[in-house]
């Protein structure tokens, strides 16, 4: 069965945990996975040195397997362009220079197609929220972005697992109780309408995996924890390995075990496709 590793929120900078990164890098060198997907927040403060570290990690991933990445809110220099005033290109300059010129890449690999949506726009009129502390943090998706992802997934070869990747959490966090997107629950319907089988997202720093059903359709949501030291609720850092065949999708959580000094099998979930 093909495998895809879903990582997120590495946060190079103070929250980064070198042992966690090294454990993942070891697996990348072993070419453990067929596809690597990283759903944003590569840096903590958008600093050049943090991007440089993130680039080395992404380069290793790209040498290991087809890799798809998107920016998170921490990777966007939002202060350059608040409310559309200022040079918008500066917001993504660091990310584009060090990580990827494409903010919404589409990846076709054997058995899987990944379409992505950039949910990290800084503070714009369409991202405004009633929670002041969320102003530069919350995610937003324009209708054209949902439609574009749906178009990309509709061009997936028949039988391919269709994956949609976002930075912000599609489901409210179990601990935080917070939605990642301004659309809140409506985001679930919009994601479903893209025709995806699986959603990959992060941002909330807590793992939540479940299958969502709407009108006879269903999709698996892999909301993955951080591998930095900022895991919510003091829970161990973790990431997800996805595998699939024509009948089902399995998500295995790899969780940090301090005694073992490595990520080890924790929970797993299997869902009918």
Nearer to Fe ion, 43 or 152 (CB): 43
* Binding of residue 34 to Fe ion (CB under 5 A): no
In the complex, the smallest distance separating the C-beta of residue 196 from Fe ion, rounded to whole angstroms, is 20
Return left, alpha or beta for 18; rule: phi > 0 is left, psi -120 to 50 is alpha, else beta.
alpha
In the complex, the smallest distance separating the C-beta of residue 26 from Fe ion, rounded to whole angstroms, is 23
Binding region for Fe ion (CB under 5 A) out of 39-47, 109-117, 121-129, 189-197:
39-47
The binding track of 180-219 with respect to Fe ion, each residue x by CB under 5 A or -, is: -----------------------x----------------
- Check if the beta carbon of residue 116 is closer than 8 Å to that of residue 164: yes
Residue 188 parent element (H or E):
helix 186-193
In the complex, the smallest distance separating the C-beta of residue 172 from Fe ion, rounded to whole angstroms, is 15
Binder of Fe ion out of 15, 66, 71, 72 (CB under 5 A):
72
Nearer to Fe ion, 181 or 251 (CB): 181
Nearer to Fe ion, 9 or 206 (CB): 9
Query: What's the CA angle centered on 269, arms 267 and 273, to 5 degrees?
Result: 165
Nearer to Fe ion, 72 or 173 (CB): 72
Give me 218's structure tokens: 């269903």
In the complex, the smallest distance separating the C-beta of residue 122 from Fe ion, rounded to whole angstroms, is 12
d(CA 161, CA 11): 28
SS3 56: helix
Binder of Fe ion out of 34, 41, 75, 204 (CB under 5 A):
41
Nearer to Fe ion, 73 or 182 (CB): 73
* Binding of residue 73 to Fe ion (CB under 5 A): yes
Number of amino acids touching Fe ion (CB under 5 A): 5
Cross-sheet strand order for the sheet of 106-109: 106-109, 112-116, 161-165, 198-201, 217-223, 208-214
In the complex, the smallest distance separating the C-beta of residue 203 from Fe ion, rounded to whole angstroms, is 4
Give me 49's structure tokens: 């040195």
DSSP code of residue 237: P
Give whole-number Cα distances, 213 to 136, 179, 254, 269, in Å. 31, 18, 26, 16
Give the residue from 62, 72, 65, 179 showing the smallest Cα distance to 117: 72
In the complex, the smallest distance separating the C-beta of residue 245 from Fe ion, rounded to whole angstroms, is 32
Nearer to Fe ion, 121 or 203 (CB): 203
Chain residues that interact with Fe ion, rule: CB under 5 A: 9, 41, 72-73, 203
């Amino acid at each position: 069965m093909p495998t895809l590793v879903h990582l997120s929120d590495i946060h190079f900078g103070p929250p980064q945990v070198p042992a966690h990164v090294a454990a993942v890098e070891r697996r990348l060198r072993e070419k453990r996975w067929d596809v690597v997907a990283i759903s944003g927040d590569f840096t903590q403060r958008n600093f050049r040195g943090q991007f440089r570290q993130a680039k080395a990690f992404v380069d290793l991933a790209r040498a290991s397997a087809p890799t798809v990445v998107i920016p998170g809110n921490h990777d966007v220099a939002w202060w350059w362009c608040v409310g559309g005033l200022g040079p918008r290109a500066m917001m993504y300059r660091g990310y584009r220079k060090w990580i990827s010129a494409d903010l919404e890449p589409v990846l076709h690999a054997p058995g899987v197609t990944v379409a992505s949506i950039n949910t990290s726009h800084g503070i714009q009129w369409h991202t405004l929220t009633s929670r002041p502390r969320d102003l530069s943090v919350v995610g937003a998706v324009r209708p054209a972005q949902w439609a574009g992802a749906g178009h990309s997934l509709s061009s997936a070869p028949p039988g391919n697992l269709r994956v949609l990747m976002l930075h912000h959490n599609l489901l409210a966090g179990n601990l935080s109780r917070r939605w990642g997107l301004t659309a809140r629950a409506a985001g679930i319907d919009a994601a479903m309408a893209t025709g995806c089988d699986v959603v990959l997202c992060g941002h909330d720093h807590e793992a939540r995996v479940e299958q969502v059903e709407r009108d006879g359709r269903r999709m698996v949501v892999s909301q993955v924890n951080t591998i930095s030291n900022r895991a919510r609720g003091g829970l161990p850092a973790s990431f997800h390995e996805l595998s699939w065949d024509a009948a089902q999708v399995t998500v295995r959580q790899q969780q940090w075990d301090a005694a073992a000094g490595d990520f080890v099998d924790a929970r797993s979930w299997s869902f009918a496709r």
